[in-house]
Chains A and B, each alone.
Chain A
Amino acid sequence: MTEQGPGGGHAPSYDLECRNLVCRFGDFVAVNDVSFGVPEGDFFSILGPSGCGKTTILRMMAGFLQPTSGDFLIKGKSVIDMPPNRRPINMVFQHLALFPMMTVAENIAYGLLRQGINRIDARKKVEDALERIGLPGSGEKKIKQLSGGQQQRVAIARCLVLEPAALLLDEPLGALDLKLREHMKVELKKMQDQFGTTFVYITHDQSEALVMSDHVAVMNQGRFEQIGTPQDLYYQPATAFVAGFVGDTNRWQGRVESVDRDTVKVITQDGVQLLATAAGGEALSQGSQVEIFVRPEAVVITLESERITSQDNRITGELISVLFNGANSRALIRDRHTGGELDVALPQTGEFSHLQRGQEVHLGWSLAHAKAFIQKESGG
């Protein structure tokens, strides 16, 4: 599957397609001209900070909100005038919205009975679904008797038994504790594979989006900043917002000193000279204010300065602390000259396990890993 740019082609293989969706509340534009398509069977995430409008998009897709303008198509047919109960997509709510007055089986059967399926067939399907989510025989239980993770699975099964064209998920992992959340990430992905249903997943947690998704749209202030695979977003961010929001990163602000094709020489606010690659597709010229982003793992750390002479950017610093976290260990390093702090990934070889606080280290990174974006006035 290739990347779909905003307003991309109207290939009929899209399961869901939003065209130029706009949603205003008075003067406030919650969703500003958003277009995207989700291919069949895709795990599509919309990632953004809270208040960016992602829930508004989901509610428009589910039919609870009428967009100010724009169109929404399911399998090529516009459903914009269809009420939520007739749209062939279902939603998993943030707090699941399982019906507490019903048993587990009644919850799953609710949608089936609304489709006019007779009780005997419905019961069979419910038992089948309970089997698939690993809760056989729990049909007569009350919702409160289930654990958080089990409730999660019931909420998803309740939708999937209806065989919807797509499942919309509104941050369903937000209410779970950290350990369960990690577990459910894997489980959700498995369930999606198992049922083969298109998922549209909304989250503010970038690790959820990166781990589970086939495609991710990064959203900010009502607009899509970039749509792409998790790898695209991570390695080729299209905007400064994406570079800063997806994954951890070190950033500098500075002014362009000179431009040589894609390579820019930047003097940072602290007076350090750095080489970076122009990114974001905007022309940089001398004097432009830019932000430079460098991933912690792109920085080479060494105790001997000779080993990084080949790197385009070099800094000498002292170790503030080691944030040991197994394979994800980091070192916090203070720049000798400017006092700025850098986050650097430690190689997993154990070579740096004896680093001492205050020890001198040398850092280097290539200009290919340093991405310079025009700095926006709003700082968005």
Chain B
Amino acid sequence: MSLSLRSAVRLNLILLLIPVFLWLLLLIILPHIDMLLVSTQVKVRPRVYEFSFANYGEFFSEPLYWRTFARTAIMSIAATLLTLVIAFPVAYYIAKMLRGRMKSFLFLLCLVPFWVSELVRTFGWMILLRESGVFSNLFQWIGFADGPVEMLYNDATIMVGLIYTSMLFMVVPLVTILDSLDDSLVEAGYDLGGNAFTVLRTIIIPHAMPGIVSGCIVVFMLTLGNYLTPVLLGGKDSLWFTAQIYTQFITRFNWELGAAFGFLLLFLSSMIVWMGLKLSRQTLTETMG
């Protein structure tokens, strides 16, 4: 009886896990194995390939490639930190200052932009910032500028777009973690003589650390892997690493180099996340748990 019950439980578990396993296997593991195999091939003649790590070597020997990667990584880190700095007060306000309906309303407001696709949202920015756009006309009308102002195609605009896209992914974990902070801890912090800064530094941030780190990881990975926003808002000069991968695959038909870049992106971004975890003395299990 108990044996059959146990095997029934096990069968249920297996049935439940099958979709997850299939998803992992078909959409993540298999393509990556294929990518790995492709990335280690070098074309010697048409339709003739040889095993080699030359594709990986090219990444390091050609400055454009690794500089593009470094630029992408640094801008992603900057975007992540800026998102954190902007999202933290927002999240604190929603989680700690508001009560009841206003709280859920503001939380929902953060979500609203995500009801339209990223493409449409990015076009929204382009309508505002392009030479013939809303701001350009506004500045001319007020008299700030004599002629049309182009605000697209620079790093600052890419940054704005990236932060805007990432906001929600930072606000949600921060609101959740700050919600779990007992108000009396903050009050005790003040009561024992702390000022706003010390309370923030010694009580609120240490409590929120898992949320901060998990938000940062998500935002960093999304930003680093973002293609649409940097390309649309930054134009040809955006020099984003994903655009480089796209170029290899689609424009140059060089799947081997593209696959190698894809792997390098995965490996290097994982390294950066790992370093971030080490620096903040957090573990992956407690941030994601």
Chain A residues engaging chain B, CB cutoff 8 angstroms: 62-64, 83-86, 90-91, 93-95, 97-102, 110-111, 114-115, 158-159, 162
B190 at the interface (CB under 8 A from A): yes
Docked CA distance A286–B198 (Å):
66
B206 at the interface (CB under 8 A from A): yes
Docked CA distance A86–B193 (Å):
6
B29 at the interface (CB under 8 A from A): no
**Size band of the interface chain B makes with A:** 10 to 19
- Tell me which residues across on chain B come within 8 A of A93, comparing CB atoms: 184, 187-188
- Asked if B185 contacts A97 (CB within 8 A), the reply is yes
Docked CA distance A111–B198 (Å):
11
Q: List 5 A-B contacts (CB under 8 A).
A: A85-B193, A90-B191, A91-B191, A114-B194, A162-B192
- Asked if B206 contacts A97 (CB within 8 A), the reply is no
Residue of B185, B191, B194, B206 touching A62 (CB-CB under 8 A): B191
- Tell me which residues across on chain A come within 8 A of B206, comparing CB atoms: 101-102
- Asked if B194 contacts A110 (CB within 8 A), the reply is yes
- Asked if B191 contacts A95 (CB within 8 A), the reply is no
Docked CA distance A114–B189 (Å):
10
- Tell me which residues across on chain B come within 8 A of A83, comparing CB atoms: 190
- Asked if A85 contacts B191 (CB within 8 A), the reply is yes
Separation in Å of the A94 CB from the closest CB of chain B?
7
Docked CA distance A96–B48 (Å):
73
- Asked if A95 contacts B182 (CB within 8 A), the reply is yes
- Asked if A114 contacts B185 (CB within 8 A), the reply is no
Separation in Å of the B210 CB from the closest CB of chain A?
11
Docked CA distance A99–B202 (Å):
9
In this complex, what residue of A is CB-closest to B185? A97
In this complex, what residue of B is CB-closest to A114? B193
B207 at the interface (CB under 8 A from A): yes
- Asked if A111 contacts B190 (CB within 8 A), the reply is no
Docked CA distance A85–B195 (Å):
7
B203 at the interface (CB under 8 A from A): yes
- Asked if B194 contacts A97 (CB within 8 A), the reply is no
Separation in Å of the B182 CB from the closest CB of chain A?
7
In this complex, what residue of B is CB-closest to A111? B192
- Tell me which residues across on chain B come within 8 A of A91, comparing CB atoms: 187-188, 191
- Asked if A85 contacts B187 (CB within 8 A), the reply is no
Docked CA distance A141–B266 (Å):
40
Docked CA distance A83–B194 (Å):
11
With A100-B207, A114-B195, A115-B193 already in contact, 10 other A-B pairs whose C-beta atoms are closer than 8 Å: A62-B191, A84-B190, A85-B195, A97-B184, A97-B188, A99-B202, A101-B203, A101-B207, A111-B193, A159-B192
- Tell me which residues across on chain A come within 8 A of B203, comparing CB atoms: 99, 101
Separation in Å of the B180 CB from the closest CB of chain A?
11
Separation in Å of the B100 CB from the closest CB of chain A?
15
Docked CA distance A16–B207 (Å):
34
Docked CA distance A85–B185 (Å):
13
Docked CA distance A34–B46 (Å):
94
Docked CA distance A348–B119 (Å):
86
Docked CA distance A62–B184 (Å):
12
A83, A97, A101, A159 interface centre (most CB from chain B within 10 Å): A97
